[in-house]
Amino acid sequence: MSNVNYSANKKAIDEFRKELMGMVEDIREIDQRVLNRAVNAGVKYAKNNSPVVTGVYQTKWQSAPAVKAKAGGVTKHLVNSADYASYVNYGHRTVDQAGNTTGYVKSKKGDHLLERTVIYAGKQLEKEFKKEVEAVQNRHN
């Protein structure tokens, strides 16, 4: 009788391990997909919230596809390649011909837009990851 229980238990444990390994493979694929979605939403957010004078700053927001890092995990970059992007993001001082500071210019709409976009993308990342994990759980239940 114990051989029957052992065989049944072993079969159930093997099946459970197979299911877990299937979930692990699904979860490994999630990180790259979720990061791409979250940062792409961040690019859209940055473009929509950029101050527009000529439109160059707004159109220069971009990101490369997510790539797996050597140390594990996934990375993705969000950049604005406009020459003056840091001035719009952080503000800048104005000087006269003698080099004396005459004022400080801050963009109301573009002030710290990069930081606000990173926070927005982080929130999107949480939402997307939660949806993906729930989808994996539903697939394996």
Q: Give the pLDDT score at 1.
A: 46
The answer to whether 55 touches 35, Cβ cutoff 8 Å, is no
* Residue 117 three-state SS: helix
Quote the tokens at residue 87. 């001035």
Q: What is the pLDDT along the chain (141 residues), one digit of tens a residue?
A: 456 677 877 888 888 888 777 777 666 678 888 999 999 999 999 999 988 888 899 999 999 888 888 887 888 999 999 998 888 888 877 788 888 877 767 766 768 889 999 999 999 999 998 888 888 778 767
Rounded-to-integer distance, Cα 2 and Cα 24, Å: 32
Q: Where are the domains of the chain?
A: 2-139
pLDDT of the residue at 32: 85
pLDDT at 133: 81
Place of tokens 């709409």: 109
